[in-house]
Amino acid sequence: MNEEVKELILKKIKEYETVIISRHKRPDGDAVGSTKGLHRMISAAYPDKRVFLDNSDYAAYLAFLGDEGEKPTDEDYENALVIVIDTGTADRISNPRYDKGAELVKIDHHIVDSSYGDICWIEEERSSACEMIVGLSDKTLAGALPLDKTSASFLYTGMITDSGRFRYRGTSPDTMRAAALLMEQDIDTESIYANLYMDGFDAVKFRASAVRMIKMTENGVAYIKITKKFREKHSLTLEEASNIVSVMDSIKGSLIWLAFIENDDKSIRVRLRSRFVEIQPVAARYHGGGHACSSGATVYSVKEQKALLKEADELLGRYKKENTGWI
Ligand code: AMP
């Protein structure tokens, strides 16, 4: 079934002269890597096609992957195939014109209730959308798009960021086979890791102070609250403050960890992460969603923030009662 939808997407790519590719807002490595990777694969296979990336926001920490080039005009949309990658729901697409093309393709790996698109290729169990895009290079498919060093570098970036460097539960034998295909393109993995994971001295010092701000609920949910005032005091961008979620990712017994980051408009971004126990349903109840163990949400008051924390704590309490052997 998935082979059929992959071939259908490859057929559409072949048919259309103009292809426009978009991703989700507040992009991560997978969103940028998958879109830039597919852009490169199509451009290399079909040099005469007009292939665009069209998104309205960016991530400074991914600037090393390069910019997105020229934007399509409204006219370009008229006969275009639009492909949206790594985006569960339409409201998260970083492109208000996503529905202005002739046909819309969705390629994604998020858990969702409502979808969009004329053609949907969804594999929720995949560790990254980049892993899916690598699948389009499979030579047994009609119209397969070959990889090269450039596309492989983009795709590898997304694979390692979304799989937590091949540690998260979605990492499968297929993930490793896809990574191997990318490595065969002679990519510079050392530079990719350095670009992604080296931090400025100020950021390292901030992380050290953030460790001291970690709090723990009764059942072991670790959390950090970062107010706008705190961000401003430390001259942190929202993106830098948001990255703090990772300082809580290896505390024994803390199978759920949350970062609350106050936005400029006073709403609070919540980054939810977990191990063994699935946190996604909690995110879905607070204007969010994502993956089983890695989700995002937004709360609009301190009361809502407390309620979310309580739900997470109760979920972990139940999990620990019903399961043994967790660390
Ligand atoms: P984040 O903590 O923002 O990195 O999000 C973790 C995962 O959840 C990513 O795969 C996001 O695409 C997804 N996600 C974040 N926010 C939302 C949302 N409001 N709705 C659905 N998925 C989300």
Q: Whose CA is nearest to atom 3 of ligand 1?
A: 296
Contact at 8 Å (CB) between 100 and 67? no
Coil vs helix vs strand at 323: coil
The tokens 């969603």 sit on which residue? 289
Q: What is the pLDDT of residues 213-252, one digit of tens each?
A: 999 999 999 999 999 999 998 888 898 899 999 999 999 9
Place of tokens 């208000």: 96
Helices then strands, counting H and E runs in the chain, come out as: 12, 11
Q: What is the pLDDT of residue 203?
A: 84
Span 182-194, average pLDDT: 98
C-alpha 110 to ligand 1 mean position (Å): 9
The 10s digit of each residue's pLDDT in 39-65 is: 999 999 999 999 999 999 999 999 999
Distance linking the first and last C-alpha atoms of the chain:
38
Tokens of 14: 């072949």
Q: Which atom of ligand 1 is nearest to the CA of 245?
A: 2
Cβ–ligand 1 contact at 88 (below 6 Å): yes
* Per-residue model confidence as pLDDT tens digits over 27-41: 999 999 999 999 999
265-304 residue pLDDT tens: 999 999 999 999 999 999 999 999 999 999 999 999 999 9
Residue whose C-alpha is closest to residue 325's, from 293, 277, 281: 277
Helices (H), the chain: 2-15, 29-45, 74-78, 129-135, 149-162, 173-183, 189-197, 201-211, 228-233, 238-242, 280-285, 302-322
Of the listed ranges 118-127, 190-199, 232-241, 307-316, the one predicted with least confidence = 232-241
129 vs 131: CA distance, rounded Å = 5
Q: How buried is residue 109: exposed, middle or buried, by Cβ count under 10 Å (0-12/13-18/19+)?
A: buried
CA distance 3 to 142: 10
Give, in order, the Cα–Cα distances in Å from 254 to each of 97, 219, 246, 286: 42, 8, 13, 21
The token pair that represents 265 in the structure block: 């408009």
Question: CB count, 10 Å around CB of 3?
Answer: 12
Which mutation among 130, 295, 299 tests ligand 1's pocket best, with the greatest number of atoms within 8 A of CB? 295
Provide the whole-model pTM.
0.93
Neighbours of 164 (CB within 10 A): 17
Taking residues 179-187, what's their average pLDDT? 98
The alpha carbon of 29 and the centre of ligand 1 are apart by a number of angstroms equal to 12
**109 pocket-lining for ligand 1 (C-beta < 6 Å):** no
Show the domains of the chain with their CATH numbers: 2-196 (3.90.1640.10), 201-322 (3.10.310.30)
> Measured from the CB, is residue 289 less than 6 Å from ligand 1?
yes
Query: Residue 1 — very low, low, confident or very high, per pLDDT cuts 50/70/90?
Result: low
Q: What pLDDT score does 235 carry?
A: 85
